[in-house]
């Protein structure tokens, strides 16, 4: 029988441990303290705690053992060791002298350490799940008493719930940590929560990155501050929350407003948060910033509409040319020629849907269809000038008429014929003008020269003047055509920036 | 077609010269008195405000402008108009509500009939 002094001392050990466990949040420190206390209480030099991990058990804590073994040594559960025997037995096991033990094998590390006697008790977690065991080992034969095993058993019973609490809080902490890491590293996603009244509660860094408000600024504000004025006027913010409250979730795909007033396109959803009883706690809102993609999509739509419009307009132009050419008894090949000139102009325009086209490209492309650009009969010169898309088509058609006539009746047909095309700009800014001269020389004019130039002359004198404000002079000189076209260019900088409305 | 628009004054607003001439020709052949054609909103607005019109033909995209303001002005004056346009999505725009839409390329006889229908 233990002395009352011994009982008192062991009770005090348990009380001290209880107090320590209340304050300590580290499982390793708790287990180490337990090893220290049981070794001391049972007057042994060594003690250890084994933790079951799958089909082996780990030397999780210990006193008196080589430091390298703690946290590293594993004993397979299927080997019949003193430890696995005790865990399977589920009750305290005592071996007074291992030399006389026939129930199990003593592991090598125990033998090497000269262990002769041992006493242990299994540790159970609340609910009855086995955690492992706590054991004292001695290098001398020991007569462990029932009081000793009862003390160990009591200690193990106290230890179980303490281990359980720390394991749960550790796993919760790591879950919380993971959650925090995931949510805080999602910078392209605005993630935040609101309360029942849809006022902002949790505001994560992604939300700050997307919307511009800091967590301090956003907290407590109604989620409506993120909606555009128009959407607020339509109660879109309230509709979204009430849909989420009714259906569990609601899509949020719309333009929102940032702190600086700029717009951000969000593709996301709103989810109602409810407790276990189904009471609405608030909303979780997650959205991705797709502003760049949305803008690209909008620009694409504008371009598609522009192409659609241009295509249909072009059909109208072709129909008009057909009527003016074939409809008035003209030859089919004249229509085809005009069509190919139109096609060349479209080719220049299609290089870029909206950008202005270099004047020299228009001239060279048209002339190249009729004559070798390196021909000594031809001279093309002028500074770099760009025409707006709206000017290109009519200008190219007018040039085509001039070039065709020069081929058939003018400078490009005659042996002695020369064609000079030159241009310059005058004026600045809004009043900048192009002045282009088309001069043919060395031409013997036929009697009916006037009539051959009907359509070309109309296009130049009236067509260019109509929509693009050009002023043209067209005259038949004694040795060929002289044509001067003066056309407003507008500000050069505007031209480069011009785009769809 | 001849005479279908006899005595009617029709405003033509179209920014493309070749199409404008084509429309002009078609309306004259149907007996109309053509006002314009004009390529832009400002020229058209000046005519709308100073001349008595029976109807108008509007292209929607006029260079960098659109015919919306013009349509409002015509509505305010109860002058009917048709749209002759390459834009596919003008239908349903409030400024153009109720106006017949002819998609380019527009056949001359379709245009003349559409105008005849709104002026009768």
> In chain A, what residues touch B13 (CB-CB under 8 Å)?
none
The number of distinct structural domains making up chain B is 1
Please state, for a pLDDT cut of 70, what percent of chain B lies above it. Answer: 97
Q: Cβ separation of B17 and A315 shorter than 8 Å?
A: no
Domain assignment present for B3? no
- Listing DSSP states for A64-75 in one string gives SS-GGGTTT-EE
**ipTM of the shown complex:** 0.84
pLDDT beyond 80 at B88:
no
| Residue in chain B lying closest to A310 (CA) | B86
Please state, as a whole number, how many other Cβ atoms lie within 10 Å of the Cβ of residue A200.
24
What separation in angstroms does the CA of A20 have from each of A31, A39, A332, A345? 11, 17, 106, 90
The answer to whether the beta carbons of residues A106 and A113 sit under 8 Å apart is no
Tell me what pLDDT residue A450 has.
55
What separation in angstroms does the CA of A323 have from each of A10, A12, A54, A320, B35? 116, 115, 91, 5, 22
| pLDDT (mean) for B40-58 | 89
Tell me what pLDDT residue A254 has.
95
| pLDDT (mean) for A318-334 | 82
Q: Assign A455 to helix, strand or coil.
A: helix
- Locus of tokens 């096609």: A343
- Of the candidates A4, A92, A83, A6, which has an alpha carbon nearest to the alpha carbon of residue A41? A6
In chain A, where are the structural domains located? 4-180, 187-289, 294-497
Q: How confident is the model at residue A448 (pLDDT cuts 50, 70, 90)?
A: low
Q: How confident is the model at residue A395 (pLDDT cuts 50, 70, 90)?
A: confident
Residues A31-56 have pLDDT tens digits of 999 999 999 999 998 999 999 988 88
Tell me what pLDDT residue A449 has.
55
Q: Which of A30-44, A89-103, A285-299, A445-459 has the lowest mean pLDDT?
A: A445-459
pLDDT beyond 70 at A491:
no
| Distance in angstroms (rounded) separating the CA atoms of residues A72 and A56 | 12
**A294-497 has which fold?**
Heat Shock Protein 90 (3.30.565)
**A187-289 has which fold?**
Beta-Lactamase (3.30.450)
Residue B75's domain is classified under what CATH number? Answer: 3.40.50.2300
Residues A128-145 have pLDDT tens digits of 888 999 999 999 888 888
What is the nearest CA distance from B91 to chain A, expressed in angstroms?
14
| pLDDT (mean) for B50-55 | 90
- What residues contact A244, with CB distance under 8 A and at least 6 apart? A250, A270, A271, A272, A283
| Class of domain A4-180 as given by CATH | alpha beta
| Distance in angstroms (rounded) separating the CA atoms of residues A211 and A236 | 18
Residues A336-388 have pLDDT tens digits of 888 898 888 888 887 765 568 888 989 999 999 888 888 888 999 999 888 88
Tell me what pLDDT residue A259 has.
95
Out of A305, A310, A321, the one facing B18 most closely (by C-beta) is A321
| Distance in angstroms (rounded) separating the CA atoms of residues A86 and A103 | 10
Inter-helix orientation angle B68-76/B41-50, to 10°: 10
Domain assignment present for B27? yes
Q: Cβ separation of B87 and A501 shorter than 8 Å?
A: no
Domain assignment present for B82? yes
Q: Cβ separation of A467 and B104 shorter than 8 Å?
A: no
Domain assignment present for B51? yes
The answer to whether the beta carbons of residues A454 and A481 sit under 8 Å apart is no
What is the nearest CA distance from B118 to chain A, expressed in angstroms?
23
Q: Which range of residues forms the domain containing residue B18?
A: 9-119
> In chain A, what residues touch B25 (CB-CB under 8 Å)?
323
Domain assignment present for B26? yes
Q: Please tell me if the domain spanning A187-289 has the same topology as the one spanning A294-497.
A: no
Handedness of CA A437, A438, A443, A447 (dihedral sign): negative
- What residues contact A157, with CB distance under 8 A and at least 6 apart? A124
């Amino acid at each position: 029988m233990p002395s009352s002094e011994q009982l008192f001392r062991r009770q005090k050990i348990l009380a001290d441990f209880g107090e320590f466990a209340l304050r300590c949040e580290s499982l390793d420190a708790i287990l180490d303290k337990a090893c220290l206390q049981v070794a001391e209480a049972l007057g042994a030099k060594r003690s250890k705690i084994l933790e079951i991990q799958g089909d082996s058990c780990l030397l999780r804590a210990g006193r008196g053992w080589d430091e390298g073994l703690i946290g590293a040594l594993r004993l397979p559960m299927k080997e019949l060791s003193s430890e696995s025997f005790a865990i399977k037995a589920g009750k305290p096991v005592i071996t007074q002298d291992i030399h006389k033990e026939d129930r199990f094998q003593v592991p090598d590390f125990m033998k090497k350490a000269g262990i002769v006697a041992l006493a242990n008790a299994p540790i159970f977690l609340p609910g009855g799940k086995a955690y492992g065991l706590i054991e004292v080992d001695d290098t001398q034969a020991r007569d462990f008493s029932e009081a000793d095993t009862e003390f160990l058993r009591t200690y193990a019973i106290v230890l179980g719930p303490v281990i359980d609490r720390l394991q749960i809080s550790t796993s919760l902490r790591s879950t919380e940590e993971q959650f925090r890491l995931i949510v805080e590293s999602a910078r392209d996603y605005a993630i935040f929560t609101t309360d029942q009244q849809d006022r902002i509660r949790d505001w994560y860094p992604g939300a700050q990155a997307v919307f511009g408000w800091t967590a301090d600024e956003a907290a407590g504000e109604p989620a409506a501050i993120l909606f555009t004025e128009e959407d607020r006027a339509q109660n879109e913010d309230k509709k979204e929350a009430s849909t989420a409250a009714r259906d569990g979730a609601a899509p949020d795909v719309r333009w929102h407003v940032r702190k600086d007033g700029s717009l951000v396109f969000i593709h996301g959803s709103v989810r109602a948060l409810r407790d276990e009883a189904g009471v609405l706690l608030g909303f979780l809102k997650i959205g991705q910033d797709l502003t760049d993609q949305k803008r690209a999509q909008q620009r694409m739509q504008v371009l598609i509409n522009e192409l659609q419009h241009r295509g249909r307009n072009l059909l109208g132009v072709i129909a008009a040319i057909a009527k003016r050419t074939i409809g008035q008894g003209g030859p089919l090949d004249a229509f085809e020629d005009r069509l190919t000139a139109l096609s060349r102009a479209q080719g220049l325009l299609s290089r870029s849907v909206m950008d202005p086209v270099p004047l020299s490209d228009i001239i060279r492309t048209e002339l190249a269809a009729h004559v070798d650009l390196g021909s000594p009969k031809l001279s093309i010169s002028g500074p770099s000038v760009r025409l707006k898309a709206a000017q290109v088509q009519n200008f190219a058609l007018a040039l085509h008429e001039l070039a065709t006539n020069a081929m058939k009746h003018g400078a490009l047909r005659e042996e002695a014929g020369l064609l000079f095309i030159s241009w310059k700009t005058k004026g600045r800014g809004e009043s900048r003008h192009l002045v282009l001269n088309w001069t043919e020389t060395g031409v013997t004019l036929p009697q009916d020269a006037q009539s051959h130039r009907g359509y070309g002359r109309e296009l130049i004198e009236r067509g260019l003047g109509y929509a693009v404000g050009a002023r043209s002079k067209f005259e038949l000189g004694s040795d060929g055509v002289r044509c001067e076209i003066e056309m407003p260019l507008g500000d050069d900088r505007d031209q480069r920036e011009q785009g769809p409305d | 077609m001849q005479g279908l628009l006899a005595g009617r004054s029709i405003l033509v607003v179209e920014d493309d010269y070749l199409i404008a001439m084509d429309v002009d020709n078609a309306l004259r052949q149907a007996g109309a008195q053509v006002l314009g054609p004009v390529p832009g909103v400002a020229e058209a607005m000046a005519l709308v405000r100073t001349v008595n019109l029976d109807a108008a033909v509007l292209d929607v995209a006029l260079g960098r402008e659109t015919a919306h303001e013009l349509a409002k002005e015509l509505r305010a004056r109860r002058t009917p108009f048709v749209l002759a346009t390459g834009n596919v999505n003008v239908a349903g725009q409030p400024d153009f509500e109720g106006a017949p839409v002819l998609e380019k390329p527009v056949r001359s006889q379709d245009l003349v009939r559409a105008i005849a229908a709104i002026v009768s």
